[in-house]
């Protein structure tokens, strides 16, 4: 072998080791991090995809790991490896990519560590716990040439993709307002006392980047969503889906001129810190974006498609409006949308406030809230080594999450935020600007340089 051939062979070997090119029939060896309710969903979804092999499971809770192993054994017929520390999983040469369903405060650091170890990442929504973290996730994904898909599965749901396409085509004319809503009925979590950490649980590992707090049942399992240390409230839990659809439909880059959020926790007397009713508004100058969370009883709104205990989005345009949710979408046109200014003046505006339903598309079977196609999209990008194939690339997920974070910052400081257009910094408000990041607990620090 001559020197030129040797160099080419060596370079190819290095490239393949760092960025493996998988063939169409190759299976992606996946490590699942976090085996709570959503993590078990991940295992179920991947088990239906022939291009995926769940090679390992990781959780700080021994009971979670055991449930994960048993689930893979039942679904796939083999035992995956177990890891308590995600860093050990990331260093394993047997793992090609990882799927992460930890609490929100772990999303950024786990993604960055995985990218640094040469793994591709499927990370649950919201992409990050704060704005700084999102920027670092993007930097890591690009620096290490990793595929990072955020779990905003609406981007791969057929009827939602069609609804956004129609907006692009101008079905309701110029859009002037995108409204997301999360009328998700929930109930008080009550009070749980501080107590000894259950056997088999690494509580420090669970807290990770968050400051240390004594263990209590409400701070663990699902209710971590309702504490600022670990979650982002329902606007960052269910609401991030609708916030992402708002951003998707408006198709705007850059930052809003201002952001303001009001609300709080009403009725309930319990351990929850986050709001159970919250409204947020973002002004772009020529278009408005808004979002509402209400976990308390909510009625139907007049003759609109909005029903109690619903989540969805309404896009308002000069010719009518489009409503989209998990069940499908509808388009309503104004009676005046096809009339000239002179005809409208003759008829009188009051006589033209009628809306005709011109489209009504029902979600395809299995597509209403399916995550599996979104995961398949991730695996396709992994095989092709092309992040532009991702439907919810990290840059998309991070931008949508930033609106959640701006809303929560405004809510917590109690005032409107002015946003610097060039950087996204919060102008003239040192307290609010400081909340774009957090105080990290060593050694679980999201690095300033990835």
- Hey, CA dihedral for 41, 141, 30, 378, is it positive or negative? positive
Strands 120-123 and 148-150, sheet pairing? parallel
**Rounded-to-10 torsion of CA 393, 396, 400, 405:** 70
Angstrom distance (rounded) from CA 271 to CA 218: 7
Q: Global pTM? A: 0.91
Q: Has residue 342 got a pLDDT over 90?
A: no
Give pLDDT, residue 249: 98
Give pLDDT, residue 4: 42
Angstrom distance (rounded) from CA 382 to CA 389: 9
Strands 320-325 and 311-317, sheet pairing? antiparallel
Tell me if the bond preceding 126 is cis, omega within 30° of 0.
yes
Give me the mean pLDDT over the 256-277 stretch. Answer: 98
Half-sphere CA count of 418, side-chain side, radius 13 A: 4
End-to-end CA distance of the chain: 39
Give pLDDT, residue 9: 40
Residues 107-117: tens digit of each pLDDT: 999 999 999 99
pLDDT band at 144 (very low <50, low <70, confident <90, very high): very high
Residues facing residue 295 across a β-bridge: none
Angstrom distance (rounded) from CA 280 to CA 264: 12
Q: Has residue 336 got a pLDDT over 80?
A: no
Residue 425 buriedness (CB in 10 A; 0-12 / 13-18 / 19+): middle
Q: What is the mean pLDDT of the chain?
A: 91
| DSSP, res 261 | E
Residues 387-438: tens digit of each pLDDT: 999 999 999 999 999 999 999 999 999 999 999 988 999 999 999 999 999 9
Return the percentage of the chain with pLDDT > 90, whole number. 84
The CATH architecture that domain 26-155+375-393 belongs to is 3-Layer(aba) Sandwich (3.40)
- Domain ranges for the chain: 26-155+375-393, 158-368+398-434
pLDDT band at 307 (very low <50, low <70, confident <90, very high): confident
Q: Has residue 1 got a pLDDT over 50?
A: no
Angstrom distance (rounded) from CA 176 to CA 149: 29
Residues 309-322: tens digit of each pLDDT: 889 999 999 999 99
- DSSP-derived secondary structure for 146-158: --EEES-GGGG-H
| Residue whose C-alpha is closest to residue 435's, from 125, 130, 128, 105 | 130
Angstrom distance (rounded) from CA 304 to CA 289: 19
Give pLDDT, residue 300: 79
| Residue whose C-alpha is closest to residue 439's, from 130, 225, 116 | 130
Q: What is the CATH number of domain 158-368+398-434?
A: 3.30.360.10
Residues 353-386: tens digit of each pLDDT: 678 899 999 998 777 668 999 999 999 999 999 9
Give pLDDT, residue 366: 73
Residues 9-49: tens digit of each pLDDT: 433 343 344 445 455 458 999 999 999 999 999 999 999 99
Angstrom distance (rounded) from CA 361 to CA 293: 26
Angstrom distance (rounded) from CA 46 to CA 239: 25
Sheet of strand 97-100, all strands in order from the earlier edge strand to the far edge: 81-83, 52-58, 28-33, 97-100, 120-123, 148-150
């Amino acid at each position: 072998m001559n020197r030129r051939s040797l160099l080419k062979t060596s370079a190819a070997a290095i490239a393949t080791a760092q960025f493996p090119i998988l063939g169409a029939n190759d299976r992606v060896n996946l490590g699942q991090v976090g085996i709570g309710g959503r993590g078990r969903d991940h295992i179920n979804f991947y088990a239906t995809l022939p291009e995926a092999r769940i090679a390992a499971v990781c959780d700080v809770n021994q009971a979670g790991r055991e449930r994960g192993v048993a689930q893979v054994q039942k679904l796939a017929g083999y035992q995956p490896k177990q890891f308590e520390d995600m860093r050990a999983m990331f260093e394993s040469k047997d793992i090609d990519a990882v799927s992460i369903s930890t609490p929100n405060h772990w999303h950024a650091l786990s993604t960055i560590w995985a990218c640094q170890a040469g793994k591709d990442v499927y990370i649950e929504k919201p992409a990050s716990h704060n704005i700084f973290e999102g920027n670092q996730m993007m930097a890591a994904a690009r620096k290490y040439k990793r595929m990072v898909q955020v779990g905003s599965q609406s981007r791969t749901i057929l009827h939602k993709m069609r609804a956004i396409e129609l907006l692009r085509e101008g079905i309701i004319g110029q859009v002037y307002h995108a409204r997301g809503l999360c009328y998700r009925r929930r109930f008080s979590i009550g009070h749980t006392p501080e107590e000894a950490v259950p056997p088999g649980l690494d509580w420090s590992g669970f807290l990770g980047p968050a400051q240390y707090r004594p263990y209590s049942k409400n701070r663990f399992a699902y209710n971590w969503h309702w504490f600022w240390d670990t979650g982002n409230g329902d606007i960052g839990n269910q609401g991030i889906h609708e916030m992402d659809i708002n951003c998707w439909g408006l198709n705007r880059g850059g930052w809003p001129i201002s952001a303001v959020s009001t609300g709080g926790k009403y009725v309930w007397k319990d351990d929850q810190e986050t709001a159970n009713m919250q409204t947020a508004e973002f002004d772009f100058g020529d278009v408005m974006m808004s979002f509402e969370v209400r976990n308390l009883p909510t009625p139907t709104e007049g003759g609109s498609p909005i029903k109690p205990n619903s989540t969805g989005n309404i896009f308002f345009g000069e010719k009518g409006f489009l409503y989209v949710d998990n069940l499908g979408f509808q388009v309503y046109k104004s009676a005046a949308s096809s009339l000239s200014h002179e005809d409208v003046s003759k008829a009188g505006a009051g006589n033209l406030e009628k809306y005709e339903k011109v489209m009504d598309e029902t979600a395809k079977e299995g597509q209403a809230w399916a995550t599996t196609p979104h995961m398949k999209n991730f695996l396709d990008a992994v095989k092709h080594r092309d992040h532009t194939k991702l439907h919810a690339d990290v840059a998309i997920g991070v931008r949508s999450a930033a609106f959640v974070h701006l809303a929560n910052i405004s809510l917590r400081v109690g005032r409107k935020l002015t946003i610097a257009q060039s950087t996204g910094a919060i102008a003239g408000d040192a307290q609010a600007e400081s909340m774009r990041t957090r105080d990290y607990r060593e050694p679980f620090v999201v690095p300033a340089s990835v």
